[in-house]
């Protein structure tokens, strides 16, 4: 095996006909590849960020924003007027206005911002993939896996993949799409409002800040309607279980400090946890109760050689896919090493493209039952395989902080 110098990008936004989105990775590979992270990197304005979030709730359907007083105070500290934000001030991505730090994250609900057209058209911005020097790898990388053709999840998606959904957000380059998973919350058994996704789907990493208008749509296009029919679909048809806004989000310090659009930086720690709240106000039901399921997260999953199979699921949006249908891949994982100092990643054969970033990877956990053990982070521009971080103590720390913040709520 020889060291090569491929380019990597994240898999979250759309690639191909709508551009290449990046979350990188450094690695010794069998053949030279251009790699793209599967989903959501956008924008080059300078900013960056730490890891948390805050937010708001909607005002019972009248199109107004209702925000807790402490969040209003935070907005004021940053010179943000709530009405101006709602009316388009959030589109200001200048360096001074793109909030970076954990304590600065705000995500006020703008009711009906994510209408069916905007959900359908969310994409990845056009962005060239830069070459990255990936030499010097001292970790362990297994031979490149054979491509595994992604299979459509049979509709209705909710019947077989109730925890899966589409993650939407705005970046400096436009509206973007990733994938995400409803996960159990030990602090609120049976009533979780937690969603797992990739770090590059909520934060731009070392060269950017927090994305805006982050929202989760469980079982998007649940009936699996063809794209032509979605042109006239109602919001209830494309989002049968509602739109859930991220009122708190946290990713790893490593992603915030190291994450980049190309080269693999931060990919081993490319994960995030989001606490969500319903756009239309709460009827007392949590996200878990609404969709009827949630996956446990296993932070002590078996090492790569002991994992018999992993299932990756998501909404690939780059050609030949269009982001409107849910797909999955099953494969026995191999190892992908970015650097000797970083955790080894899982890698599987899979043809899913950009838009699938953040989607959950499910396997038998340490107790033998199905659990989320990773998420889609990166893959080659040419598709064929995906890689995701192996979750450990750092990931558990991020999860525990978000869970603890909302304990008993």
* Number of domains the chain is built from: 1
Residue of higher predicted confidence among 20 and 201:
201
Q: What is the pLDDT of residue 27?
A: 26
Note the pLDDT tens digit of each residue in 345-396: 999 999 999 899 999 999 987 788 899 999 999 988 788 999 999 999 999 9
- Of 43-52, 105-114, 247-256, 264-273, the one with minimum mean pLDDT is 43-52
Query: Would you say residue 162 has pLDDT above 80?
Result: yes
Domain of residue 25: give its range.
2-405
- Give the pLDDT band of residue 25 (cuts 50, 70, 90): very low
Q: What is the pLDDT of residue 63?
A: 41
Q: What is the pLDDT of residue 45?
A: 35
- What is the chain's mean pLDDT, rounded? 80
Note the pLDDT tens digit of each residue in 78-115: 777 778 888 888 888 887 777 766 667 778 899 999 99
Please report how many Cα atoms fall inside a 13 Å half-sphere around the Cα of residue 121, on the Cβ side.
9
């Amino acid at each position: 095996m020889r060291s090569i110098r491929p380019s990597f990008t994240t898999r979250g936004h759309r690639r191909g006909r709508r551009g290449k989105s990046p979350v990188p990775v450094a690695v010794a590979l069998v053949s030279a590849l251009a790699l793209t992270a599967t989903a959501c990197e956008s924008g080059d304005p300078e900013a960056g960020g730490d890891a948390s979030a805050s937010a708001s709730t909607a005002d019972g359907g009248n199109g107004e924003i209702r925000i807790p007083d402490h969040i209003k105070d935070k907005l004021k500290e940053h010179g943000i007027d709530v009405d101006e934000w709602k009316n388009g001030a959030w589109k200001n991505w200048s360096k001074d206005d793109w909030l970076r730090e954990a304590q600065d994250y705000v995500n006020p609900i703008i009711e009906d911002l994510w209408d069916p057209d905007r959900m359908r058209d969310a994409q990845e911005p056009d962005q060239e993939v830069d070459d990255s020097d990936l030499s010097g790898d001292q970790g362990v990388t297994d031979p490149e896996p054979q491509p595994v053709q992604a299979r459509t999840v049979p509709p209705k998606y909710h019947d077989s993949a109730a925890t899966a959904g589409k993650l939407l957000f705005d970046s400096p380059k436009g509206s973007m799409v990733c994938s995400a998973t409803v996960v159990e919350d030990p602090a609120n058994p049976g009533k979780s409002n937690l969603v797992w996704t990739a770090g590059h789907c909520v934060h731009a990493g070392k060269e950017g800040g927090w994305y805006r208008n982050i929202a989760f749509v469980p079982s998007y296009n649940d009936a699996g309607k063809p794209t032509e029919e979605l042109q006239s679909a109602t919001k209830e048809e494309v989002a049968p279980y509602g739109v859930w806004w991220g009122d708190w989000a946290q990713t790893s310090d490593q992603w915030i400090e190291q994450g980049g659009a190309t080269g693999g930086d931060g990919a081993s720690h490319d994960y995030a946890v989001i606490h969500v709240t319903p756009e239309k106000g709460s009827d007392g039901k949590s996200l878990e109760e609404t969709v009827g399921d949630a996956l446990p997260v296993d932070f002590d999953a078996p090492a790569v050689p002991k994992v018999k199979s992993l299932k990756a699921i998501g909404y690939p949006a780059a050609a030949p896919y269009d982001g409107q249908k849910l797909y999955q891949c099953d494969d026995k994982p191999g190892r992908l090493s970015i650097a000797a100092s970083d955790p080894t990643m899982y890698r599987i054969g899979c043809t899913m493209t950009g838009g699938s970033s953040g989607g959950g990877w499910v396997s038998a956990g340490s107790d033998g039952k199905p659990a989320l053990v990773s998420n889609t982070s990166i893959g080659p521009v040419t598709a064929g395989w995906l890689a995701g971080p192996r979750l450990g103590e750092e990931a558990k720390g991020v999860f525990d902080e978000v869970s603890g913040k909302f304990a008993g709520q």
